[in-house]
Chains A and B, each alone.
Chain A
Protein backbone atom coordinates (compact mmCIF):
# COMPACT_ATOMS: atom_id res chain seq x y z
CA UNK A 1 0.00 0.00 0.00
CA UNK A 2 1.01 3.62 -0.39
CA UNK A 3 1.62 5.78 2.67
CA UNK A 4 1.48 9.54 2.18
CA UNK A 5 4.06 11.31 4.32
CA UNK A 6 3.35 14.92 5.31
CA UNK A 7 6.05 17.55 4.92
CA UNK A 8 7.06 17.76 8.59
CA UNK A 9 7.87 14.04 8.65
CA UNK A 10 9.67 13.85 5.31
CA UNK A 11 12.89 14.70 7.10
CA UNK A 12 12.73 11.13 8.36
CA UNK A 13 11.90 9.41 5.06
CA UNK A 14 14.80 10.72 2.98
CA UNK A 15 12.44 13.46 1.76
CA UNK A 16 10.09 10.95 0.14
CA UNK A 17 6.47 12.14 -0.04
CA UNK A 18 5.13 8.62 -0.37
CA UNK A 19 6.45 5.31 0.83
CA UNK A 20 5.33 1.93 -0.56
CA UNK A 21 5.03 -0.80 2.03
CA UNK A 22 3.54 -4.26 2.31
CA UNK A 23 1.18 -5.18 5.07
CA UNK A 24 -2.21 -6.78 5.55
CA UNK A 25 -3.47 -4.28 8.11
CA UNK A 26 -3.04 -0.60 8.91
CA UNK A 27 -0.83 -1.52 11.85
CA UNK A 28 1.31 -3.83 9.72
CA UNK A 29 1.75 -1.06 7.17
CA UNK A 30 2.82 1.44 9.81
CA UNK A 31 5.17 -1.12 11.33
CA UNK A 32 6.74 -1.67 7.93
CA UNK A 33 7.06 2.09 7.51
CA UNK A 34 8.94 2.60 10.77
CA UNK A 35 11.04 -0.48 10.10
CA UNK A 36 12.16 1.12 6.84
CA UNK A 37 12.54 4.56 8.44
CA UNK A 38 13.35 4.03 12.12
CA UNK A 39 13.61 7.74 12.92
CA UNK A 40 9.88 8.06 12.31
CA UNK A 41 9.04 5.73 15.16
CA UNK A 42 9.34 8.27 17.94
CA UNK A 43 7.21 10.71 15.98
CA UNK A 44 4.37 8.30 15.34
CA UNK A 45 4.31 6.01 18.35
CA UNK A 46 4.56 6.39 22.11
CA UNK A 47 7.13 4.32 23.99
CA UNK A 48 4.51 1.63 24.56
CA UNK A 49 3.76 1.40 20.87
CA UNK A 50 0.51 3.35 20.69
CA UNK A 51 -0.15 5.82 17.92
CA UNK A 52 0.48 9.30 19.32
CA UNK A 53 -2.69 11.27 19.96
CA UNK A 54 -1.60 14.23 17.84
CA UNK A 55 -0.97 12.02 14.82
CA UNK A 56 -3.95 11.08 12.70
CA UNK A 57 -3.83 8.22 10.26
CA UNK A 58 -6.39 7.99 7.50
CA UNK A 59 -7.16 4.87 5.51
CA UNK A 60 -8.25 6.40 2.23
CA UNK A 61 -10.72 9.06 3.42
CA UNK A 62 -11.48 7.66 6.84
CA UNK A 63 -9.90 8.26 10.21
CA UNK A 64 -8.48 4.93 11.32
CA UNK A 65 -9.50 5.62 14.92
CA UNK A 66 -13.16 5.46 13.91
CA UNK A 67 -12.98 2.31 11.79
CA UNK A 68 -14.59 -0.68 13.52
CA UNK A 69 -11.29 -2.54 13.69
CA UNK A 70 -9.17 0.62 14.07
CA UNK A 71 -5.48 -0.12 13.43
CA UNK A 72 -6.30 -3.79 12.84
CA UNK A 73 -8.37 -2.88 9.77
CA UNK A 74 -7.50 -4.94 6.73
CA UNK A 75 -5.95 -3.16 3.79
CA UNK A 76 -5.28 -4.10 0.20
CA UNK A 77 -2.46 -3.07 -2.09
CA UNK A 78 -4.64 -0.35 -3.64
CA UNK A 79 -5.37 1.36 -0.34
CA UNK A 80 -3.70 4.55 0.76
CA UNK A 81 -2.71 5.55 4.24
CA UNK A 82 -2.26 9.26 4.93
CA UNK A 83 -0.56 10.60 8.01
CA UNK A 84 -1.98 13.95 9.13
CA UNK A 85 0.31 15.83 11.45
CA UNK A 86 -0.53 18.67 13.79
CA UNK A 87 0.72 21.84 12.23
CA UNK A 88 0.20 25.20 13.88
CA UNK A 89 1.91 27.61 11.53
CA UNK A 90 0.24 30.79 10.47
CA UNK A 91 3.06 32.98 9.42
CA UNK A 92 6.11 30.90 8.63
CA UNK A 93 9.21 31.65 10.59
CA UNK A 94 7.52 32.93 13.67
CA UNK A 95 5.75 29.59 13.92
CA UNK A 96 9.00 27.86 14.58
CA UNK A 97 10.17 30.77 16.62
CA UNK A 98 7.18 30.56 18.87
CA UNK A 99 7.62 26.85 19.27
CA UNK A 100 11.30 26.20 19.40
CA UNK A 101 13.42 29.26 19.11
CA UNK A 102 12.36 31.38 21.99
Chain B
Protein backbone atom coordinates (compact mmCIF):
# COMPACT_ATOMS: atom_id res chain seq x y z
CA UNK B 1 0.00 0.00 0.00
CA UNK B 2 1.36 3.40 -0.90
CA UNK B 3 1.85 5.65 2.04
CA UNK B 4 1.49 9.34 2.23
CA UNK B 5 4.42 10.94 0.43
CA UNK B 6 6.42 13.46 2.33
CA UNK B 7 4.09 14.06 5.21
CA UNK B 8 6.97 15.16 7.31
CA UNK B 9 7.61 13.48 10.58
CA UNK B 10 7.00 16.79 12.25
CA UNK B 11 4.30 17.19 14.86
CA UNK B 12 0.84 17.11 13.34
CA UNK B 13 -1.19 20.31 13.68
CA UNK B 14 -3.52 20.65 16.64
CA UNK B 15 -7.29 20.77 16.21
CA UNK B 16 -9.24 23.55 17.88
CA UNK B 17 -12.46 22.81 19.76
CA UNK B 18 -14.43 24.23 16.85
CA UNK B 19 -12.62 21.93 14.47
CA UNK B 20 -13.24 18.97 16.76
CA UNK B 21 -16.97 19.70 16.66
CA UNK B 22 -16.90 20.19 12.92
CA UNK B 23 -15.07 16.94 12.18
CA UNK B 24 -16.84 14.89 14.83
CA UNK B 25 -18.13 12.26 12.36
CA UNK B 26 -14.58 11.68 11.20
CA UNK B 27 -13.19 11.61 14.71
CA UNK B 28 -15.56 8.85 15.81
CA UNK B 29 -14.64 6.78 12.77
CA UNK B 30 -11.70 4.69 13.94
CA UNK B 31 -10.10 4.58 10.47
CA UNK B 32 -9.82 8.37 10.52
CA UNK B 33 -9.83 9.36 14.18
CA UNK B 34 -8.04 12.29 15.74
CA UNK B 35 -4.70 11.58 14.16
CA UNK B 36 -6.27 11.02 10.75
CA UNK B 37 -8.00 14.35 10.97
CA UNK B 38 -4.70 15.96 11.89
CA UNK B 39 -3.13 14.33 8.82
CA UNK B 40 -5.88 15.79 6.66
CA UNK B 41 -5.19 19.20 8.18
CA UNK B 42 -1.48 18.85 7.52
CA UNK B 43 -2.04 17.77 3.91
CA UNK B 44 -1.58 20.00 0.89
CA UNK B 45 -3.61 19.01 -2.16
CA UNK B 46 -3.56 20.71 -5.54
CA UNK B 47 -6.66 20.66 -7.72
CA UNK B 48 -5.72 21.25 -11.33
CA UNK B 49 -8.85 22.80 -12.76
CA UNK B 50 -11.95 23.95 -10.89
CA UNK B 51 -14.38 22.80 -13.56
CA UNK B 52 -16.70 19.82 -13.68
CA UNK B 53 -14.33 17.46 -11.86
CA UNK B 54 -12.43 20.02 -9.82
CA UNK B 55 -15.58 21.59 -8.37
CA UNK B 56 -16.97 18.59 -6.44
CA UNK B 57 -13.45 17.39 -5.73
CA UNK B 58 -12.35 20.63 -4.09
CA UNK B 59 -15.68 21.09 -2.35
CA UNK B 60 -15.57 17.71 -0.63
CA UNK B 61 -11.88 18.00 0.20
CA UNK B 62 -12.61 21.34 1.84
CA UNK B 63 -15.48 19.81 3.79
CA UNK B 64 -13.25 16.91 4.86
CA UNK B 65 -10.74 19.28 6.40
CA UNK B 66 -7.79 19.27 4.02
CA UNK B 67 -5.58 21.98 5.47
CA UNK B 68 -4.28 23.48 2.26
CA UNK B 69 -6.07 23.32 -1.04
CA UNK B 70 -4.39 24.76 -4.11
CA UNK B 71 -6.52 25.68 -7.12
CA UNK B 72 -5.16 26.07 -10.65
CA UNK B 73 -7.48 27.73 -13.15
CA UNK B 74 -7.20 30.69 -15.49
CA UNK B 75 -10.79 30.70 -16.63
CA UNK B 76 -13.74 32.83 -15.55
CA UNK B 77 -17.14 31.52 -14.50
CA UNK B 78 -19.67 31.25 -17.31
CA UNK B 79 -23.39 30.62 -16.87
CA UNK B 80 -23.03 27.38 -18.83
CA UNK B 81 -20.63 26.07 -16.16
CA UNK B 82 -23.29 26.01 -13.46
CA UNK B 83 -25.02 22.88 -14.78
CA UNK B 84 -22.19 20.90 -13.12
CA UNK B 85 -19.52 23.12 -11.57
CA UNK B 86 -21.15 23.35 -8.16
CA UNK B 87 -18.29 25.26 -6.60
CA UNK B 88 -19.30 28.33 -8.61
CA UNK B 89 -22.48 30.36 -8.26
CA UNK B 90 -24.90 32.46 -10.22
CA UNK B 91 -23.62 35.45 -8.28
CA UNK B 92 -20.01 34.78 -9.37
CA UNK B 93 -20.60 34.51 -13.12
CA UNK B 94 -17.91 36.58 -14.81
CA UNK B 95 -15.46 36.31 -11.90
CA UNK B 96 -12.22 34.39 -11.97
CA UNK B 97 -12.89 30.75 -11.19
CA UNK B 98 -10.22 30.68 -8.48
CA UNK B 99 -11.88 33.63 -6.74
CA UNK B 100 -15.34 32.19 -7.15
CA UNK B 101 -14.20 28.81 -5.82
CA UNK B 102 -12.40 30.36 -2.88
CA UNK B 103 -15.59 32.10 -1.76
CA UNK B 104 -17.57 28.90 -1.63
CA UNK B 105 -14.77 26.86 -0.07
CA UNK B 106 -14.13 29.43 2.65
CA UNK B 107 -17.82 29.71 3.29
CA UNK B 108 -18.00 25.95 3.75
CA UNK B 109 -14.84 25.69 5.81
CA UNK B 110 -13.01 28.72 7.18
CA UNK B 111 -10.40 26.52 8.87
CA UNK B 112 -8.47 25.84 5.68
CA UNK B 113 -6.06 27.66 3.41
CA UNK B 114 -6.93 28.20 -0.21
CA UNK B 115 -3.98 28.95 -2.47
CA UNK B 116 -5.02 30.42 -5.79
CA UNK B 117 -2.98 29.89 -8.94
CA UNK B 118 -4.73 31.98 -11.57
CA UNK B 119 -2.55 30.74 -14.40
CA UNK B 120 -2.65 28.32 -17.28
CA UNK B 121 -0.59 25.32 -16.25
CA UNK B 122 2.43 25.11 -18.54
CA UNK B 123 5.73 23.30 -18.79
CA UNK B 124 7.53 26.33 -17.44
CA UNK B 125 5.44 26.71 -14.29
CA UNK B 126 4.08 23.24 -13.43
CA UNK B 127 7.02 21.99 -11.37
CA UNK B 128 7.22 25.22 -9.42
CA UNK B 129 3.50 25.08 -8.60
CA UNK B 130 3.40 21.34 -7.84
CA UNK B 131 6.43 21.20 -5.58
CA UNK B 132 4.62 22.56 -2.53
CA UNK B 133 1.86 19.94 -2.59
CA UNK B 134 1.61 16.35 -1.42
CA UNK B 135 -0.98 15.08 -3.88
CA UNK B 136 -2.15 16.39 -7.25
CA UNK B 137 -5.74 15.89 -8.40
CA UNK B 138 -6.08 16.15 -12.15
CA UNK B 139 -9.42 17.61 -13.19
CA UNK B 140 -8.31 19.21 -16.43
CA UNK B 141 -10.08 19.00 -19.75
CA UNK B 142 -7.54 18.43 -22.48
CA UNK B 143 -4.84 15.97 -23.43
CA UNK B 144 -1.95 18.44 -23.30
CA UNK B 145 -2.57 19.21 -19.66
CA UNK B 146 -3.20 15.53 -18.85
CA UNK B 147 0.28 14.60 -20.05
CA UNK B 148 1.80 17.66 -18.44
CA UNK B 149 0.24 16.84 -15.07
CA UNK B 150 1.31 13.22 -15.35
CA UNK B 151 4.89 13.99 -16.25
CA UNK B 152 5.25 16.63 -13.55
CA UNK B 153 3.85 14.17 -10.99
CA UNK B 154 6.31 11.45 -12.03
CA UNK B 155 9.26 13.86 -12.00
CA UNK B 156 8.34 15.14 -8.54
CA UNK B 157 7.22 11.72 -7.23
CA UNK B 158 3.75 12.93 -6.27
CA UNK B 159 0.63 10.80 -6.70
CA UNK B 160 -1.93 11.94 -9.24
CA UNK B 161 -5.60 11.32 -8.44
CA UNK B 162 -6.88 11.15 -11.98
CA UNK B 163 -10.39 11.45 -13.35
CA UNK B 164 -11.84 12.15 -16.76
CA UNK B 165 -15.28 12.20 -18.30
CA UNK B 166 -16.98 12.08 -21.65
CA UNK B 167 -20.73 12.46 -22.08
CA UNK B 168 -22.04 9.66 -19.82
CA UNK B 169 -18.80 7.87 -19.13
CA UNK B 170 -15.90 8.41 -16.76
CA UNK B 171 -12.54 7.01 -15.76
CA UNK B 172 -10.58 7.29 -12.54
CA UNK B 173 -7.25 6.01 -11.30
CA UNK B 174 -4.27 6.93 -9.17
CA UNK B 175 -1.16 7.43 -11.25
CA UNK B 176 2.49 8.15 -10.58
CA UNK B 177 2.93 6.42 -7.26
CA UNK B 178 6.31 4.82 -6.88
CA UNK B 179 5.11 1.27 -7.49
CA UNK B 180 2.18 1.99 -9.80
CA UNK B 181 1.77 2.90 -13.45
CA UNK B 182 1.51 6.41 -14.81
CA UNK B 183 -0.88 7.92 -17.35
CA UNK B 184 1.63 7.22 -20.13
CA UNK B 185 1.67 3.52 -19.23
CA UNK B 186 -2.03 3.48 -20.12
CA UNK B 187 -1.92 5.92 -23.00
CA UNK B 188 1.60 6.19 -24.43
CA UNK B 189 0.42 8.74 -26.99
CA UNK B 190 -2.53 11.08 -27.32
CA UNK B 191 -5.00 10.60 -30.13
CA UNK B 192 -4.32 12.86 -33.10
CA UNK B 193 -6.68 15.87 -33.05
CA UNK B 194 -8.60 14.55 -36.05
CA UNK B 195 -9.66 11.42 -34.18
CA UNK B 196 -10.95 13.25 -31.14
CA UNK B 197 -14.74 13.41 -30.96
CA UNK B 198 -15.99 16.67 -32.38
CA UNK B 199 -18.09 19.18 -30.51
CA UNK B 200 -21.14 17.70 -32.22
CA UNK B 201 -20.58 14.74 -29.91
CA UNK B 202 -19.63 16.85 -26.92
CA UNK B 203 -21.60 17.70 -23.86
CA UNK B 204 -21.71 15.95 -20.54
CA UNK B 205 -24.36 14.78 -18.12
CA UNK B 206 -24.01 17.37 -15.36
CA UNK B 207 -24.01 14.82 -12.56
CA UNK B 208 -21.27 12.65 -14.04
CA UNK B 209 -18.33 14.90 -13.12
CA UNK B 210 -19.84 14.92 -9.62
CA UNK B 211 -19.61 11.14 -9.48
CA UNK B 212 -16.09 10.99 -10.84
CA UNK B 213 -14.77 14.06 -8.98
CA UNK B 214 -15.97 12.60 -5.70
CA UNK B 215 -14.21 9.34 -6.53
CA UNK B 216 -11.01 11.37 -7.02
CA UNK B 217 -11.59 13.10 -3.69
CA UNK B 218 -12.08 9.70 -2.03
CA UNK B 219 -8.76 8.51 -3.41
CA UNK B 220 -7.03 11.66 -2.17
CA UNK B 221 -8.38 11.14 1.34
CA UNK B 222 -7.40 7.44 1.33
CA UNK B 223 -3.87 8.29 0.24
CA UNK B 224 -3.50 10.85 3.01
CA UNK B 225 -4.89 8.54 5.66
CA UNK B 226 -3.16 5.45 4.31
CA UNK B 227 -6.35 3.41 4.46
CA UNK B 228 -8.10 1.07 2.05
CA UNK B 229 -6.98 0.05 -1.39
CA UNK B 230 -6.23 3.04 -3.57
CA UNK B 231 -6.85 2.86 -7.32
CA UNK B 232 -3.16 2.29 -7.95
CA UNK B 233 -2.70 -0.08 -10.87
CA UNK B 234 -6.41 -0.10 -11.51
CA UNK B 235 -8.59 1.89 -13.88
CA UNK B 236 -12.16 2.46 -12.76
CA UNK B 237 -14.64 2.76 -15.60
CA UNK B 238 -17.92 4.46 -14.76
CA UNK B 239 -20.89 4.19 -17.10
CA UNK B 240 -23.65 6.38 -15.72
CA UNK B 241 -26.29 5.15 -18.16
CA UNK B 242 -25.79 1.48 -17.36
CA UNK B 243 -24.78 2.56 -13.84
CA UNK B 244 -21.98 0.09 -13.97
CA UNK B 245 -18.60 0.42 -12.30
CA UNK B 246 -15.76 -1.79 -13.51
CA UNK B 247 -12.13 -1.85 -12.57
CA UNK B 248 -9.48 -3.05 -14.95
CA UNK B 249 -5.92 -3.97 -14.09
CA UNK B 250 -3.30 -1.47 -15.16
CA UNK B 251 0.32 -2.42 -15.40
CA UNK B 252 3.38 -0.32 -15.02
CA UNK B 253 5.01 -0.41 -18.43
CA UNK B 254 8.70 -1.15 -17.97
CA UNK B 255 9.32 0.60 -21.29
CA UNK B 256 7.36 3.70 -20.31
CA UNK B 257 9.68 6.60 -21.20
CA UNK B 258 8.40 8.50 -18.18
CA UNK B 259 8.11 6.16 -15.20
CA UNK B 260 9.81 3.05 -16.63
CA UNK B 261 13.08 3.93 -18.33
CA UNK B 262 13.00 7.53 -17.08
CA UNK B 263 14.37 8.72 -20.42
CA UNK B 264 12.14 11.77 -20.22
CA UNK B 265 13.90 13.88 -17.63
CA UNK B 266 12.08 17.16 -17.97
CA UNK B 267 8.77 18.58 -19.09
CA UNK B 268 8.31 18.86 -22.85
CA UNK B 269 6.20 20.89 -25.26
CA UNK B 270 2.80 19.25 -24.76
CA UNK B 271 1.00 21.16 -27.49
CA UNK B 272 3.49 19.81 -29.96
CA UNK B 273 3.26 16.32 -28.40
CA UNK B 274 -0.52 16.39 -28.85
CA UNK B 275 -0.28 17.88 -32.33
CA UNK B 276 -2.27 20.98 -31.68
CA UNK B 277 -1.74 24.72 -31.89
CA UNK B 278 -0.64 26.21 -28.59
CA UNK B 279 -3.51 27.48 -26.49
CA UNK B 280 -3.92 31.12 -25.81
CA UNK B 281 -2.67 32.50 -22.54
CA UNK B 282 -4.66 35.68 -22.71
CA UNK B 283 -7.85 34.53 -21.12
CA UNK B 284 -10.79 32.19 -21.22
CA UNK B 285 -11.06 30.02 -24.25
CA UNK B 286 -14.36 31.41 -25.31
CA UNK B 287 -13.17 34.98 -25.53
CA UNK B 288 -9.97 34.02 -27.28
CA UNK B 289 -11.89 31.85 -29.67
CA UNK B 290 -14.10 34.69 -30.79
CA UNK B 291 -11.25 37.11 -31.08
CA UNK B 292 -9.13 34.76 -33.09
CA UNK B 293 -11.63 33.56 -35.65
CA UNK B 294 -12.62 36.78 -37.36
CA UNK B 295 -9.03 37.92 -37.62
CA UNK B 296 -8.08 35.57 -40.43
CA UNK B 297 -9.50 36.49 -43.85
CA UNK B 298 -8.67 33.12 -45.42
CA UNK B 299 -7.97 29.89 -43.58
CA UNK B 300 -6.65 26.84 -45.44
CA UNK B 301 -8.01 28.31 -48.66
CA UNK B 302 -11.48 28.98 -47.23
CA UNK B 303 -12.48 32.66 -47.06
CA UNK B 304 -13.85 33.54 -43.62
CA UNK B 305 -16.90 35.76 -43.54
CA UNK B 306 -18.06 37.64 -40.45
CA UNK B 307 -21.61 37.55 -39.14
CA UNK B 308 -21.88 41.27 -39.94
CA UNK B 309 -21.09 40.51 -43.58
CA UNK B 310 -23.60 37.67 -43.56
CA UNK B 311 -26.24 40.02 -42.19
CA UNK B 312 -25.44 42.62 -44.87
CA UNK B 313 -25.69 39.99 -47.60
CA UNK B 314 -29.07 38.87 -46.30
CA UNK B 315 -30.29 42.46 -46.10
CA UNK B 316 -29.20 43.08 -49.70
CA UNK B 317 -30.82 39.83 -50.83
CA UNK B 318 -27.52 38.72 -52.36
CA UNK B 319 -27.62 35.48 -54.30
CA UNK B 320 -26.06 32.90 -51.98
CA UNK B 321 -26.87 29.71 -50.12
CA UNK B 322 -26.44 29.35 -46.37
CA UNK B 323 -25.93 25.83 -44.99
CA UNK B 324 -26.09 24.77 -41.34
CA UNK B 325 -23.82 21.82 -40.55
CA UNK B 326 -24.77 21.29 -36.90
CA UNK B 327 -26.85 18.44 -35.47
CA UNK B 328 -30.67 18.38 -35.36
CA UNK B 329 -30.78 18.75 -31.55
CA UNK B 330 -28.74 21.94 -31.85
CA UNK B 331 -31.00 23.31 -34.57
CA UNK B 332 -33.89 23.23 -32.11
CA UNK B 333 -32.05 25.50 -29.70
CA UNK B 334 -31.32 28.25 -32.21
CA UNK B 335 -31.07 28.51 -35.97
CA UNK B 336 -30.71 30.95 -38.85
CA UNK B 337 -33.29 29.19 -41.00
CA UNK B 338 -30.63 27.54 -43.13
CA UNK B 339 -31.08 23.98 -44.40
CA UNK B 340 -29.47 21.44 -42.10
CA UNK B 341 -26.69 19.17 -43.36
CA UNK B 342 -24.87 17.73 -40.30
CA UNK B 343 -21.12 17.65 -40.88
CA UNK B 344 -20.98 13.87 -40.76
CA UNK B 345 -23.60 13.53 -43.50
CA UNK B 346 -22.18 15.92 -46.06
CA UNK B 347 -20.19 13.23 -47.82
CA UNK B 348 -23.33 11.20 -48.45
CA UNK B 349 -25.41 14.20 -49.54
CA UNK B 350 -23.10 15.63 -52.18
CA UNK B 351 -25.51 14.71 -54.98
CA UNK B 352 -28.27 16.67 -53.31
CA UNK B 353 -25.93 19.60 -52.75
CA UNK B 354 -24.52 19.55 -56.27
CA UNK B 355 -27.05 22.19 -57.42
CA UNK B 356 -25.03 24.74 -55.40
CA UNK B 357 -21.66 23.86 -56.90
CA UNK B 358 -21.13 27.14 -58.68
CA UNK B 359 -23.09 29.31 -56.30
CA UNK B 360 -21.72 31.24 -53.37
CA UNK B 361 -22.11 28.82 -50.46
CA UNK B 362 -21.77 30.04 -46.87
CA UNK B 363 -21.46 27.39 -44.18
CA UNK B 364 -22.15 27.89 -40.48
CA UNK B 365 -22.14 25.82 -37.31
CA UNK B 366 -22.08 26.71 -33.61
CA UNK B 367 -18.70 28.41 -33.36
CA UNK B 368 -17.11 28.06 -36.79
CA UNK B 369 -14.96 24.94 -36.46
CA UNK B 370 -17.22 22.28 -37.92
CA UNK B 371 -18.32 24.62 -40.70
CA UNK B 372 -14.66 25.14 -41.60
CA UNK B 373 -14.30 21.37 -41.97
CA UNK B 374 -17.50 21.20 -44.01
CA UNK B 375 -16.29 24.04 -46.23
CA UNK B 376 -13.04 22.18 -46.87
CA UNK B 377 -14.98 19.04 -47.72
CA UNK B 378 -17.23 20.92 -50.15
CA UNK B 379 -14.28 22.67 -51.76
CA UNK B 380 -12.55 19.35 -52.25
CA UNK B 381 -15.74 18.04 -53.86
CA UNK B 382 -15.55 20.78 -56.48
CA UNK B 383 -17.64 23.55 -55.00
CA UNK B 384 -16.12 26.70 -56.43
CA UNK B 385 -17.14 29.43 -53.98
CA UNK B 386 -17.42 28.20 -50.38
CA UNK B 387 -17.01 30.47 -47.37
CA UNK B 388 -17.04 29.82 -43.64
CA UNK B 389 -19.10 31.93 -41.26
CA UNK B 390 -16.52 32.76 -38.62
CA UNK B 391 -17.75 32.42 -35.05
CA UNK B 392 -20.91 30.63 -36.19
CA UNK B 393 -24.31 31.09 -34.67
CA UNK B 394 -22.72 32.09 -31.36
CA UNK B 395 -21.23 35.15 -33.02
CA UNK B 396 -24.60 35.86 -34.64
CA UNK B 397 -26.29 35.73 -31.23
CA UNK B 398 -23.55 37.92 -29.78
CA UNK B 399 -23.38 40.59 -32.44
CA UNK B 400 -26.51 40.53 -34.59
CA UNK B 401 -29.43 39.07 -32.64
CA UNK B 402 -29.09 39.43 -28.86
CA UNK B 403 -32.46 37.73 -28.38
CA UNK B 404 -31.02 34.47 -29.70
CA UNK B 405 -29.98 31.96 -27.00
CA UNK B 406 -26.31 31.04 -26.75
CA UNK B 407 -25.46 27.46 -25.93
Contact = CB atoms under 8 A, between A and B. Distances in A.
Interface of A: 6-8, 11, 17, 42-43, 52-54, 56, 58, 61-63, 66, 82, 84-102
Given A98-B285, A99-B276, A66 B141 contact: no
Contacts of A8: 166-167, 197, 201
Nearest to B85: A91
Contacts of B52: 89-92
Contacts of A62: 248-249
A91 B199 contact: no
Contact of B141 (A6, A17, A85, A94): A94
Given A63-B251, A97-B202, A98-B285, 9 more contacts: A7-B168, A7-B169, A53-B187, A61-B247, A63-B250, A90-B163, A92-B203, A100-B198, A102-B288
Nearest to B140: A90
A82 B242 CA distance: 15
Contacts of A17: 242
A87 B49 contact: no
Interface in B242-262: 242, 246-251
A61 B234 CA distance: 10
Contacts of A6: 169
Interface in B220-266: 235, 237, 242, 246-251
B189 A54 contact: yes
A55 to B, nearest CB: 8
Contact of A82 (B191, B201, B248): B248
Contacts of A87: 164-166, 169, 171
A2 to B, nearest CB: 13
A92 B202 contact: yes
A101 to B, nearest CB: 4
B188 interface: yes
Residue in A63, A66, A99 whose Cβ sees the most chain B Cβ within 10 Å: A99
Contacts of A88: 140-143, 146, 164, 190
Contacts of A92: 51-52, 83-84, 165, 202-204, 206, 209
A6 B81 CA distance: 25
Contacts of B84: 91-92
Given A96-B198, A100-B196, A102-B279, A90 B165 contact: yes
B249 A102 contact: no
A89 B204 contact: yes
A7 B199 contact: no
Contacts of A11: 197, 201, 344
Smallest CB-CB A-B distances: 6 pairs: A91-B51, A92-B204, A96-B202, A90-B141, A96-B199, A87-B166
A5 to B, nearest CB: 11
B234 to A, nearest CB: 10
B251 A66 contact: yes
Interface string B138-159: 0111110010000000000000
Given A90-B165, A100-B196, A95 B202 contact: yes
A7 B166 contact: yes
A58 B248 contact: yes
B49 to A, nearest CB: 5
Interface string B173-188: 0000000000000111
Contact of A43 (B171, B195, B285, B366): B195
Contacts of B140: 88, 90
A43 B249 CA distance: 23
Given A89-B204, A91-B84, A96-B202, A63 B142 contact: no
Contact of B204 (A66, A93, A98, A99): A93
B369 interface: yes
B155 to A, nearest CB: 20
B279 A98 contact: yes
A86 B274 CA distance: 12
Given A91-B141, A93-B202, A101 B367 contact: yes
Nearest to B197: A8
Contact of B187 (A66, A86, A98): A86
Given A54-B190, A89-B165, A91-B85, A99 B249 contact: no
A97 to B, nearest CB: 6
Nearest to A6: B169
B193 interface: yes
Given A84-B237, A100-B198, A90 B139 contact: yes
B203 A97 contact: no
A36 to B, nearest CB: 19
